[in-house]
Amino acid sequence: MNTPATDISTHYLGLPLRSPLVPSASPLTERIESLQEMERCGASAVVLPSLFEEPYDRDALQPAEYLDKIKAAREHLTIPVIASLNASTLKGWAEYAVMIEKAGAHAIELNIYNLSLDPDVPPAFIEDGYVNAVKAVAEAVKIPVAVKLPPYFTSLAYIAKRLKESGAKGLICFNRFYQPDIDLLTLGSTYTLRLSTAAENRFPLRWISLLYQRIQIDLAANTGIRSGEDVLKMVLGGACITQVCSVLMQRGIPWLRKIEQELREAMEESGYSSLSQVRGSFSSQVSGEPGEAERDEYRKALQGYILSRSPDQRVLTTHSQQEPSS
Ligand X SMILES: Cc1cc2nc3c(=O)[nH]c(=O)nc-3n(C[C@H](O)[C@H](O)[C@H](O)COP(=O)(O)O)c2cc1C
Q: What is the Cα 247 distance to its own chain's centre?
A: 13
Single out the residue of 286, 104, 300 nearest to residue 210, CA to CA.
286
One-letter amino acid of 56: Y
Binding residues for ligand X restricted to 241-280, rule: CB under 6 A = 244-246
How far apart are the C-alpha atoms of 77 and 31, rounded to whole Å?
Answer: 12
50 binds ligand X (CB under 6 A): yes
42 binds ligand X (CB under 6 A): no
Q: Select the span of 37-45, 96-104, 220-228, 318-326 touching ligand X (CB under 6 A).
A: 220-228
Orientation of helix 202-211 relative to helix 228-237, angle to 10°: 20
Candidate list 14, 16, 27, 290; residue touching ligand X; CB under 6 A:
27
Size of the site for ligand X (CB under 6 A): 21
User: Toward ligand X, which CB reaches closer, 19 or 111?
Assistant: 111
User: Toward ligand X, which CB reaches closer, 109 or 272?
Assistant: 109
Candidate list 69, 148, 264, 279; residue touching ligand X; CB under 6 A:
148
Orientation of helix 63-76 relative to helix 32-40, angle to 10°: 30
Binding residues for ligand X restricted to 168-207, rule: CB under 6 A = 175-176, 193, 195-196
Do 146 and 170 contact (CB within 8 A), yes or no?
yes
For the CB of residue 243, give the shortest distance to ligand X in the complex, in Å.
6
For the CB of residue 51, give the shortest distance to ligand X in the complex, in Å.
8
49 binds ligand X (CB under 6 A): yes
DSSP track, 264-294: HHHHHHHT-SBHHHHTTTTHHHHH--TTHHH
Four-CA torsion 22, 27, 29, 32, nearest 10 degrees: -170
Beta strands in 88-150 (DSSP E): 107-111, 145-149
227 binds ligand X (CB under 6 A): no
Candidate list 222, 227, 283, 287; residue touching ligand X; CB under 6 A:
222
19 binds ligand X (CB under 6 A): no
For the CB of residue 83, give the shortest distance to ligand X in the complex, in Å.
10
111 binds ligand X (CB under 6 A): yes
Q: Select the span of 162-170, 239-247, 276-284, 287-295 touching ligand X (CB under 6 A).
A: 239-247
Candidate list 26, 166, 227, 287; residue touching ligand X; CB under 6 A:
26
Do 61 and 49 contact (CB within 8 A), yes or no?
yes
How far apart are the C-alpha atoms of 129 and 90, rounded to whole Å?
Answer: 9
For the CB of residue 86, give the shortest distance to ligand X in the complex, in Å.
7
User: Toward ligand X, which CB reaches closer, 10 or 222?
Assistant: 222
Which helix or strand (DSSP H or E) is residue 305 part of?
strand 305-308
For the CB of residue 163, give the shortest distance to ligand X in the complex, in Å.
16
- CB neighbour list of residue 91: distance below 8 Å, 6 or more residues apart: none
Single out the residue of 270, 278, 253, 277 nearest to residue 21, CA to CA.
253
User: Toward ligand X, which CB reaches closer, 25 or 159?
Assistant: 25
Entry field: residues in the chain: 326
223 binds ligand X (CB under 6 A): yes
User: Toward ligand X, which CB reaches closer, 178 or 305?
Assistant: 178
Interface residue list for ligand X (CB under 6 A) = 24-27, 49-50, 84, 111, 148, 175-176, 193, 195-196, 222-225, 244-246
